[in-house]
Amino acid sequence: MTAEKVEQNKRFFHRSFSVHTVQNNYARVAGYYDIWSWLTESKATKTALDLANIEDGETVLEVAVGTGIAFEKITGLNKHGNNVGLDLSPAMLAKARGRLAALNSIQAHLQIADAFHLPFKSGKFDLVINQFMFDLLPEEEFPTILNEFRRVLTDSGRVVIANMAHGEEWFHRFWLWLAKQFPKLLTGCRPVSLGSYLTAAGFSNVQVVHVSQNTFPSEVLRAES
């Protein structure tokens, strides 16, 4: 996609952020979100966890934990560490708590919070994981949130992020069209490219992996604080 097209899409998708809208959108889809995730996002989630390379005993934060699909795996990989999951949606977090209860782990904690003001001291986490959140936020807010991610990471910490992406094949354009024409079907999400924002926020060694699952395009990024 040309730089001109990217700028056109940014203008088209310009929006303000509303907690109420996000909570309503995800309350509507919470009951079947796991099916959607299995069909379109599970490959990106696996890639994200592979890139995260979690070592047992670490302190891990997942922002926008959703229904807890990734958080369940994080807790399993980090049985002797500290695992914290946040989400803005009570409906999604209720599903995640159901998964967590089945694990019966004392090393995991879930709470409602937003990514703009992470309720933690600086330098607390070895790893921050975030999936499919930036693609529903205004781009002008990306630096604020990435700065929060970097603030709560240790000096040797790392971040792994997955988003809906523009994709590299002609058929990926279907999802851009769908995001424009029927935004509610995608809960307001649209393709984004986060690599340059990570660099601007002071992250180093930025790595980007493109993933396609049933034509749905994602990008998975890893960077160091």
Residue 141 pLDDT > 50: yes
Confidence of residue 15 (pLDDT cuts 50, 70, 90): low
Confidence of residue 17 (pLDDT cuts 50, 70, 90): low
Q: Does a structural domain hold residue 5?
A: no
Residue 108 pLDDT > 80: yes
Position with higher pLDDT, 116 vs 13: 116
Q: Does a structural domain hold residue 2?
A: no
Give mean pLDDT, residues 146-175.
96
Q: What is the pLDDT of residue 3?
A: 52
Give mean pLDDT, residues 128-149.
94
In CATH, what number is assigned to the domain containing residue 79?
3.40.50.150
Q: Does a structural domain hold residue 169?
A: yes
Length of the chain in terms of residues written: 225
Q: Does a structural domain hold residue 10?
A: no
Q: How many domains does the chain have?
A: 1
Q: Does a structural domain hold residue 157?
A: yes
Q: What is the pLDDT of residue 146?
A: 98
Domain coverage including residue 175: 16-224
Q: Does a structural domain hold residue 166?
A: yes
Confidence of residue 12 (pLDDT cuts 50, 70, 90): very low
Q: What is the pLDDT of residue 1?
A: 52
Give mean pLDDT, residues 91-101.
87
Q: Does a structural domain hold residue 1?
A: no
Q: What is the pLDDT of residue 109?
A: 92
Q: Does a structural domain hold residue 7?
A: no
- Reported as a single tens digit per residue, the pLDDT across 56-93 is 999 999 999 999 999 999 999 999 999 999 998 888 89
